[in-house]
Structure formats: structure tokens, C-alpha cells
Amino acid sequence: MKNIDCKRIDVHYHILDRRTYGWENDWKQSVEDADKLEIDQLCISILPENKCANPSEFRQVNDDVLQAMKDYPGRYLGYAFVNPGYTRKAVEEVERCIRAGMIGVKLYSAYTIDDPVTEPVIEKCIDLGVPILMHAGYAHIDMGQPSISTALHFTNIAKKYPEAMFIEAHIGGGGDWEWSIKELKKCPTVFLDTGGSVIDDGMINMAVKELGVERLLFATDCSIYSGVGKILGARLTEQQRRKIFSENFKNILSKRKL
Amino acid sequence: MKKLFDCNAHIGNWPFRKLHNNNAMGLLRMMDRSGITNAVVSSIDAIFYKNCQPGNVEVFRQIKKYRERLFPFAVINPYYAGWQEDLEECVGKYNIKGITIYPSIHGYSLKDDCADELMVKVKEYKIPVAISLRIVDPRQGHWLFQVPNINIEDLVCFTKKHSEVSFIIRDVETEIIDKKLIKINNCYFDISRINFCEKDILKKLITKSSVDRYLFGSQIPFKDPTPAILKLQLSNITKIERNKIEFRNLENQIKS
């Protein structure tokens, strides 16, 4: 991987797969939008339509991510999306994708992060020295995702695997962010991505205060104006902002063992 | 100084989350920090008080010294006793520049007679009406506070029916503007929730209707205003169009 002196790395972004109409424009447009907002690198994954994807489906979307990385070298960094329910195939796919240059693993809500079924994937990520970005959220209404991971699930799994690099996705993803930050305080090895469309005043500052700036990673989850704006608008020092925008994630990337 | 006029600012307490900068001084601090020169403000407390008026009066009291920068909109609940007198007092004594209504929270529908009765008075006073389609993302709502969304078809009928009234539709999504409200010329749109993931979306909306229909809004102090400002700064629109959205359109509403 090129060692670019990036000032802004978006650790949570998605692009369309190559079977969806308009994908070429989407790939190009995403990079152009990133340019506008001075985002140097977008860490991408593709979520298949079937979130409980079978091995052939997750391999297909990962091939698309590898292609996007080739088409836009240095701009797109890839996450391997897998369904941990297919244990052997999921672990093999993680290995294949990381060897091909991807930087981590993306999991969705087929299982919670502390479900024993995810453990082989977690152990593979520890072996490879790569992070796991996990879809997450907590709300007081039914969000229609019964197996969505909350900070409680992260607390459980982080106790079991303190050496793993877990990233709880999008604190601005629409749930009760105060609850998530307070709960996440109990598991100091878990990182938090700042993505999502929610731009509540005080959200980033509370996260910094409660968790420490080292645990926050800049992300947009495709809400790029909200994503950049909330970091620029938060009451932070320039050094804190640099850490969130890229330095913390560069530190994670440096742990790669392959 | 470059003008930036916010159509969506508030003062008061939100019962479900601590807000910072939620009094007049705090709001002005927040505005100064982000380059917002003027704002339409209304009371958050009045949304929750059964009798809204003390919430309104508290806002008028706080902004008394800052009337060059802060323009009050009164929260009026036409389903509650004495609203006519309250509105008269707000117009006559406090010189409000518009009103804000929250039909879902206040327990009435835009199809109800009381909503029409309120519009009769509004026409008489020649003031705009702000309607917020939501205050916070429902996913982060409190377990005791689950309010149904405003029925969009009712909103369409209501705004068409009262074509002489200017409606400032706040916290409105792109799709609702584009598919439901864009052809209703007396509707004006706060840009704070327009989805800028789509390239040149503001330009497309302007081309379909008129730039005069769009207003800068940030929903301070609930939200950080920086993303809304960034959206506007980086939009592919002309300087004249930008100026209109930044302040001219809202100034026209307030004047009229």
C-alpha cells in the first residue's frame, strides 16, 4: 500500500457494486466528492443486497472493491465484507482480500459482534493485524435490525479479544449516541467512527471527553458534508482534529502484519 | 460582513437531551463562531408547554436587546384555548416576524378546522408560517416521545389551500421537496436536510423551481451548523443564487 501523507481518511464509506445501474459514475463521483471535501482516502466496502450473503455473493462484492482499488489507486482502500455464518469460507475470504491489499474487514448485522460465530473471523483479523468495522447502533425504537450490535456487544467481545481492533460504526448513524458513548467507555480497546448523517452539536465533543481523542476515527458513511462538517465544527484543537481525521487510523493501519 | 440568515434556530430546553448554547447569548456565540449573522428564532419550551405563550414570552424577553440579529417566530397551537389572544399579543406587543406550528406534537392535523382558522388570522397579519417536519431523528428519540410524522398529503393540501400564506418548510428531505412540494409556489424550503450526496442536487432543485424558494437553515442549537454552511459553500450555484439562499430570500419573507 502506498504511504501517502493523508490528511483526511474516511474510514467508513460505501460504493455501488458493478451490477447496479450507474456504478461507474458512483465510483467516479465518490472520488470527486472526496476531492471537494479534501478527503484523501475513502475506506470502502460494498454491502450486498442480501445482508446475510452466501460466500459467492460476498466474494463477488469484494472483487468489485478490489477493482475499485485498482481503478483509483491510493484513493480507495478496501474492506472485505463477509458473512461469519459461513465460517471456513468467511475466514478464507478475509485472508484472500487482505493478501490482495485490503485493509480490514467489514461486518454487518447478520450476527452481533459478540456472537460466537464471528470469533474465527475476529481471530483471523488478529493474526493479520487488521481492524474490523462493525455496523452498530442503539435506539429506543425498533430499527428493524434485531441482530444489530450495540456498545454492549462490543464490551463483551473486547473483553474476550483485547488485542483485536474493533471499530464501532457511525456514532451519527441515528441512534442514541449518548447511550453508545457512555457504554463504550467501558471497553477502552474499541474505536468509534464518527460517521452518519447526525450532526448534533456536542456529539463529537462528548465522544472526545468520554472516550479520549485517540479512539475516534473520522468517517462519513457516505454523508460526506455531515461527516467533514461535524469534525470541523467540533470544539477541538488542531492536533485533536488531525488525530481524528487521519493519525489514529494510520496507527491502526501500521499494525498490519502481512 | 457577509450576511448569513438562518431560518431554523431555537432557544430553550429540549426535555430529552442537554442542549448547549440554548439561550440568546449562547445562540449568538454559536452564530458568531460559524459566521451566521441573523436568525429566525422560536421557543423549544413552547413546543412542550400545554400553554405555549410563556415559552414565547421568554424568547421575546431574551432577544429584546438583539432584535437586529434575532427575529422571533411565535409557537402557536390553534388547538389550545386562547391562541387568538396570544397571537394578537405576539404580533402587537412583540412584533413577531412569523409563527411556527407543530401539528403532530400539539395533537391536531392540518385537516382540522383549527388549522384553517389559524390561517385566517395569519393572512390578516401577513406573516409566514414555519412548519418543521421533524425536530430530531426519530431513531434517537426518547422512549416517552414517539410522535407521528406530519402527513405529507395533508401538508400538500393545506399549503395549496392557503396559497396566500408563505410556508417555510423546515427539516424537509430532498424527496419530499422534489416529489410533493416543489410545484407549490408558496412553499419555501430550509436546505438543512437536502441530501447533498447527489451531485449538484441544489442546482437541480433550483432549475426545477426557483432559487427564491430556498433558505439557509441549520437547526442551531440542536445541530452543529458547519455541515449546512459547507453544503452551501460547495454547491455548484452562481454567486447571485448563493446570496439569495444565504439571506435575501429570508429577508424578503420577513419584510413581507
> What is the three-class DSSP state of A89?
helix
pLDDT over threshold 70, residue A191: yes
Nearest to B64 by CA among B35, B31, B89, B93: B93
For chain A, give the number of residues: 258
pLDDT over threshold 80, residue A189: yes
CATH number at residue A173: 3.20.20.140
Tell me the count of A-B CB pairs closer than 8 A: 85
Flag whether A189 is in a domain.
Answer: yes
Residue B13's pLDDT is what? 98
Nearest CB among B196, B223, B226 relative to A200 is that of B223
Integer Cα distance of B91 and B96 in angstroms: 5
pLDDT over threshold 90, residue A237: yes
Confidence of residue A3 (pLDDT cuts 50, 70, 90): very low
Which residue is it, cell 493485524?
A129
Average pLDDT of span A113-138: 98
- Give chain A's domain count: 1
Residue B256's pLDDT is what? 58
Flag whether A63 is in a domain.
Answer: no
For the stretch A131-168, pLDDT in tens is: 999 999 999 988 888 899 999 999 999 999 999 999 99
Average pLDDT of span A78-91: 98
For the stretch B228-244, pLDDT in tens is: 999 999 998 999 999 99
Query: What stretches of chain A show up as alpha helix (H) in DSSP?
Result: 23-36, 55-71, 87-99, 119-128, 151-160, 177-184, 203-211, 224-233, 238-242, 248-253
Average pLDDT of span B11-36: 97
Nearest CB among B140, B225, B234 relative to A176 is that of B140
Q: What are phi and psi of A149, to 5 degrees?
A: -80, 140
Integer Cα distance of A177 and B237 in angstroms: 34
Flag whether A85 is in a domain.
Answer: yes
Angle at A153 between CA A148 and CA A154, to 5 degrees: 110
**A30-65 per-residue burial string, b: 16 or more CB within 10 A, e: under 16:** bbebbeebebbbbbbbbbbeeeebebebbbbbbbbb
Contact A137/B199, CB-based, under 8 Å? Answer: no
The helix or strand, by DSSP H or E, that contains position B120, with its residue range, turns out to be helix B113-125
Residue B136's pLDDT is what? 86
For the stretch B79-130, pLDDT in tens is: 999 999 999 999 999 999 999 999 999 999 999 999 999 999 999 999 999 9
**Peptide bond just before A120 cis, omega within 30 deg:** no
Beta bridge partners of A168: A134, A192
Give A-chain residues touching B225 at CB under 8 angstroms: 233
Q: Which residues form the domain of A157?
A: 79-253
Which residues of B have a CB under 8 Å from any CB of A? Answer: 17-21, 30, 34, 136-143, 146, 196-197, 199, 220-231, 234
Average pLDDT of span A54-58: 97
Residue of chain A whose Cα is closest to the Cα of B219: A200
Distances (CA, A) of A51 to A77, A96, B7: 21, 20, 40
Integer Cα distance of A222 and A87 in angstroms: 29
Residue B198's pLDDT is what? 67
Contact A139/B139, CB-based, under 8 Å? Answer: yes
CB-CB neighbours of A228 under 10 Å: 25
Contact A229/B229, CB-based, under 8 Å? Answer: yes
For the stretch B184-216, pLDDT in tens is: 999 999 999 887 766 788 999 999 999 999 999
ipTM: 0.94
Nearest to A220 by CA among A247, A196, A249, A245: A196
Flag whether A41 is in a domain.
Answer: no
Residue of chain A whose Cα is closest to the Cα of B192: A226
Contact B146/A141, CB-based, under 8 Å? Answer: yes
Residue A5's pLDDT is what? 64
pLDDT more than 90, % of chain B: 87
Average pLDDT of span A90-112: 97
**A126-164 per-residue burial string, b: 16 or more CB within 10 A, e: under 16:** bebbbbbbbbbbbbbeebeeeebbbbbbbbebbeebeeb
pLDDT over threshold 70, residue A4: no
Flag whether A45 is in a domain.
Answer: no
Q: Compute the mean pLDDT over every residue in chain A, rounded to the nearest whole number.
A: 95
Give A-chain residues touching B199 at CB under 8 angstroms: 29, 32-33
Residue B232's pLDDT is what? 92
Measure in Å the smallest separation between the Cα of A148 and chain B Cα atoms.
14
Residue A2's pLDDT is what? 42
Measure in Å the smallest separation between the Cα of A47 and chain B Cα atoms.
18
- Cβ atoms of A85 and A57 within 8 Å: the answer is no
Measure in Å the smallest separation between the Cα of A225 and chain B Cα atoms.
5
Angle at B145 between CA B143 and CA B150, to 5 degrees: 135
Residue B157's pLDDT is what? 98
Flag whether A32 is in a domain.
Answer: no
**What DSSP character marks residue A246?**
I
Contact A140/B141, CB-based, under 8 Å? Answer: yes
Residue B111's pLDDT is what? 97
Residue to test with chain A: of B201, B224, B229, B231, most A Cβ within 10 A: B224
